[in-house]
Chain A
Amino acid sequence: MVPLTWYLVLAAALFAIGMFGVLARKNAVAVLMGVELMLNAVNINLLAFWRYTALGELVGHAFAVFVITVAAAEAAVGVALFIAVYRQRDTVNVEELDAMKG
């Protein structure tokens, strides 16, 4: 059986990749994809810890289900936001969306 550490390393790598995507991409849809990568890395961690340490109780499972639900809601709202922004400004480039002087 694969050691727990391997799963943690994989999750950390995916989280780092997603974080880089969030910070480096200019397309807002791609930024959202980076967020999804990060959420999935968290799910791997939750399930790996459930499998290796707390097999009796399904806490990891419950949290993973909640993470997936939140991710779905977040993706729907985010995508709707991008459509609204695109209607107004004809772009979803995050560097051009500086109306709030961020």
Chain B
Amino acid sequence: MFLFIVFALIAIVAGLGVILSRKPVYSALFLLLNFATLAAMYIMLQAQFLAAVQIIVYAGAIVVLFLFVVMLIGGGELNAVDRETSRQGDKANIASQRSSIQLGWPRLTALVLAVLLLAGVGYGVITGQLHQPTGTAAAFGQGSVEAVAATLYTDYLLPFEMTSVLLLVGMVGAVVLARNE
């Protein structure tokens, strides 16, 4: 109960951070935090395999892709403002003050969320609530790799193969689109 509240709180605040921070880099990092808390949520739902997939695919691939693009094409919503203020040398002090105020809140939010996350994980480790099977014995192990693979490769074999085709199409499309003519 306590763990759910902590992780839900972090997830929602991180989600708000994603859409409210002006700089896309902060958005991407808040998105990473959101994905991590959702992985914890999956573990509490006893979907261990999906928790690992969540970390590998989302945190490992998608967020890195976002960060890569954000750093490649720069692109902040502040860019136009930044360019204007940097031209006026005498107002540089005011601009830097303002930007320090604007940069202040993601840092503060991140600190609060980090403390919350530490409290949540520490509570889970100390009380053993993170790795204790709550509910029936049959429930535990339902979300394991074995069970998920058995389902995916028998009942959902055709959709599974089709998603692999989708991934191939996506890859080819990405390469074609991003190719330098």
Contact = CB atoms under 8 A, between A and B. Distances in A.
Given A2-B4, A37-B15, A40-B35, A79 B163 contact: no
Given A40-B34, A74-B170, A82-B69, A62 B19 contact: no
Contacts of A84: 177-178
Contacts, number: 183
B18 A37 contact: yes
B73 A92 contact: yes
Interface stretch (B90-98, B106-114, B116-124, B148-156): B148-156
Contact of B152 (A1, A14, A62, A70): A62
Contacts of A43: 38, 50, 54
Nearest to B170: A73
Given A1-B134, A13-B12, A20 B148 contact: no
A71 B153 CA distance: 21
**Chain A interface main SS type:** helix
B103 interface: no
A65 B24 CA distance: 27
Interface string B151-181: 1100110010001001101110111111010
Contact of A62 (B8, B155, B175): B155
A6 B8 contact: yes
A68 B180 CA distance: 29
Nearest to A62: B156
A93 B31 CA distance: 20
Contacts of B70: 29
Contacts of A93: 75, 77
A33 B18 contact: yes
Nearest to B135: A1
Contacts of B62: 36, 71-72, 75
Interface in A49-77: 50-51, 55, 57-59, 61-62, 64-66, 68-77
B19 A34 contact: yes
Given A29-B66, A68-B58, 5 more contacts: A6-B8, A33-B27, A37-B34, A76-B65, A79-B178
